[in-house]
C-alpha cells in the first residue's frame, strides 16, 4: 500500500498484480478486507444474466420505437454535431474498408422486384408518355441508328395510330375483364386480348384511338377464335 501527495491510494490486484487507485482510505480498507479484484478480473468469466435468453417481441418493438423516435428525420449532424458526425462517418468508412457487401438472397430480390412492379409509382411511370418516348428513342438508335425525330418522320400514320391504340390498351384495367386468368397462347389453349372493333377498321374509319383502346372495346377470347376473326367486326 502506497500513499501519495494527491490523496490517492494505490493497491495491487491480488490476481493480476495491476495497480488500483482509491480516493479515500475507507474504500481502500473495504477493498483490503474483501480482497476485491480489479474491474477486469472481477468481470472476467462472469456470465451475463441475459446471455442465452431471447428478448421478447414486445421488448424488441419498444426498443425499436424508442430508437426510431430519437433518430427519425434527423441526420447524423443533427444528432451528434458536425465534428462528431465526421468522426462517426470516418469510423464507419474504416470499418467497411476492404469488406465486400453481403449479397442479397434470391428471395429478397424476388420480393423487392414484385413489390416495385406492383407499386403505383412504377406503373404510372411505365404508362407515362415520357417513358414511352424514351424507349422509342433508345430503340430508334439501337435498331435504325437514327434519332427519334427521324424515326417519327419515316413512320407511317397508320403505324403511329396502332402504337397509340396499344399504348391506351395497356393502360386499361385489363384484370377486370372476363377470362383474364385464362390468357395465353396455342400451347396452353389460352385466350387472346381482342379489340371487338378492330384497330385496322378504326384507322380506316377515322375512329379516335382512345375509343378503340378503351376497356369497353376489349375482351378475352380463345386464341383460335381471335386468329380466325382477324380484322373483321363480327359484332
Question: Tell me: the pLDDT tens digits for 42-58?
Answer: 777 665 566 667 778 88
The Cα–Cα gap between 174 and 166 comes to 13
Domain ranges of the chain: 2-41, 110-155, 156-235
Confidence of residue 235 (pLDDT cuts 50, 70, 90): low
Average the pLDDT over 184-210 and give the result: 88
The pairing of strands 218-222 and 2-3 is unpaired
Average the pLDDT over 78-89 and give the result: 86
Q: Answer yes or no: is pLDDT of 127 > 90.
A: no
Question: Is 223 in contact with 184 (CB distance < 8 Å)?
Answer: yes
Cell of 3: 500513499
Give the residue from 7, 30, 9, 6 showing the smallest Cα distance to 19. Answer: 9
Q: Which residues, 6+ apart, have CB-to-CB distance to 28 below 8 Å?
A: 1, 9, 11, 22
Amino acid at each position: 500500500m502506497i500513499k501519495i501527495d494527491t490523496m490517492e491510494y494505490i493497491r495491487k490486484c491480488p490476481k493480476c498484480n495491476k495497480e488500483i487507485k482509491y480516493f479515500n482510505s475507507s474504500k481502500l480498507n473495504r477493498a483490503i478486507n474483501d480482497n476485491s479484484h480489479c474491474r477486469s478480473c472481477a468481470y472476467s468469466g462472469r456470465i451475463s444474466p441475459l446471455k442465452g435468453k431471447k428478448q421478447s417481441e414486445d421488448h424488441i418493438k419498444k426498443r425499436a420505437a424508442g430508437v426510431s423516435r430519437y433518430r427519425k428525420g434527423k441526420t447524423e449532424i443533427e444528432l451528434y454535431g458536425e465534428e462528431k458526425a465526421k468522426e462517426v462517418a470516418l469510423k464507419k468508412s474504416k470499418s467497411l474498408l476492404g469488406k465486400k457487401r453481403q449479397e442479397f438472397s434470391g428471395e429478397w430480390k424476388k420480393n423487392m422486384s414484385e413489390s416495385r412492379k406492383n407499386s403505383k409509382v412504377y406503373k404510372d411511370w411505365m404508362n407515362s408518355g415520357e417513358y414511352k418516348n424514351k424507349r422509342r428513342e433508345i430503340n430508334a438508335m439501337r435498331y435504325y441508328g437514327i434519332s427519334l425525330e427521324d424515326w417519327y418522320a419515316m413512320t407511317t400514320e397508320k403505324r403511329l395510330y396502332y402504337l397509340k391504340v396499344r399504348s391506351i390498351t395497356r393502360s386499361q384495367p385489363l384484370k377486370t375483364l372476363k377470362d383474364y386468368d385464362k390468357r395465353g397462347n396455342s400451347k396452353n389453349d389460352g385466350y387472346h386480348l381482342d379489340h371487338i372493333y378492330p384497330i385496322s377498321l378504326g384507322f380506316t374509319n377515322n375512329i379516335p384511338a382512345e375509343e378503340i383502346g378503351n376497356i369497353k372495346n376489349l375482351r378475352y377470347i380463345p386464341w383460335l377464335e381471335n386468329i380466325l376473326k382477324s380484322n373483321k367486326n363480327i359484332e
